Amino acid sequence: MIKIYPEIILKAINNNKPAGAFRLWFIAKSFDRGGSGFIPGKAFRRYLKGLGIPRGTYTRWISQAIDLGLIGRTRTIRGGQVYALVSLDQGAMLAGVTSLLKHVRVPLERFTNKGWLAWVWAAYLKHFEGKLISRGTLEKLSGVPARTQYGYEKQAGVKSKAHFANYGDPSRDPDHAMAIDGKRGIYGRAGMTCKRLPDSRTVEGVQIGGKGRTKKANQKIAALLNLWSSSQKRFEKLYCQTYEQLKKANKAKGSDAKTRPDHRFLFVADALGVGVWEAVPC
């Protein structure tokens, strides 16, 4: 298994930076078992060859990583070439990432073989496993188009689960009745008003890690960007698994008329593999 931060690779691609350079950097950091930040060049190149990566490919990656500053200019110690690796926060900044999530461990062969980006995407989705999140939101967060997301998930065997919300009988509660709106996925069925909610996903074959060095790296990134003392944007909790979560979300400070949603959704049950929710007016 190799430890990666998938958002770094995705952001690098969005910023038109060579993904191979960051791919190599993660492999190099995994090779640096002692965590010194320095690795012997000859042994590392031999390691890359043993992974089945063609010489022309890893040579190009090394050159790209040096040009980007992910790997320091090589130097010679006792007749051998040594590569100096930049820290996690510096690598994230070079990709354009302003905040890191927890690291994810991916099988090394998945990361080095054909179709590796599908597993990078699967690693990214691991952060949202079991949560309801739309493809549109994922695209805004990651920059990966919805159609590409679907292709990646098919390759990596990611499983999706559909969810629906019941807004109740509009004739019994006309004050809170929702209008039928195809654009928002609201429709009528058997006298009830319903809505298609975002899917949740199950990701197998990758493992999410702990905070590790992520918190310290984020502190360094924030300090460099002068963001650490700035106010953080608060996101409203829409999907509540229990009534206690619902009450807490409604009482949370920081909500205002502009950001507060019209409804939150309370989980009711699983029915034939589909999640059923109840829409509760805020």
HEC string for 223-262? HHHCCCCCCCCCCCCCEECCHHHHHHHHHCCCCCCCCCCC
Give the full edge-to-edge strand order of the sheet including 104-106.
2-4, 104-106, 207-208
What is the strand order of the sheet 71-77 is part of?
Answer: 38-40, 80-85, 71-77
What total number of domains does the chain contain? 2
pLDDT band at 229 (very low <50, low <70, confident <90, very high): very low
Distance of CA 225 to the CA centre of its chain: 21
> Residue 175 class from Cβ within 10 Å (0-12 exposed, 13-18 middle, 19+ buried)?
exposed
Are 88 and 172 contained in the same domain?
no
Q: Do 134 and 196 share a domain, yes or no?
A: no
Supply the range of the domain harboring residue 168.
162-201+233-281
> Which pair of tokens denotes residue 67?
């040009």
Tokens 């999907």 belong to residue: 239
Say if 251 falls within a structural domain.
yes
Q: Does the residue 81 lie in any domain?
A: yes
pLDDT tens digits, 23-82: 999 999 999 988 888 999 999 999 999 999 999 999 999 999 999 999 986 666 566 788
Q: Which of 188, 184, 146, 145 is nearest to 166 (CA)?
A: 188
* Within a domain: 88: yes
Per-residue model confidence (pLDDT) at position 230 = 44
**123 and 20 part of one domain:** yes
Q: What is the mean pLDDT of residues 135-153?
A: 94
Q: Which of 206, 202, 179, 194 is nearest to 277 (CA)?
A: 194
In a domain, 216, yes or no: no
Let me know if residue 173 belongs to a domain: yes
Q: Are residues 45 and 128 in the same domain?
A: yes
Query: Do residues 23 and 90 share a domain?
Result: yes
| Reported pTM | 0.83
What integer pLDDT is reported at residue 193 of this predicted model?
A: 83
Residue 97 sits in the same domain as residue 180: no
**Residue 250 falls inside a structural domain:** yes
- Say yes or no: 171 and 88 in one domain: no
pLDDT band at 173 (very low <50, low <70, confident <90, very high): low
pLDDT digits (tens, 9 = 90+) for 234-252: 567 888 888 888 888 888 7
**What would the two tokens of residue 230 be?**
């700035």
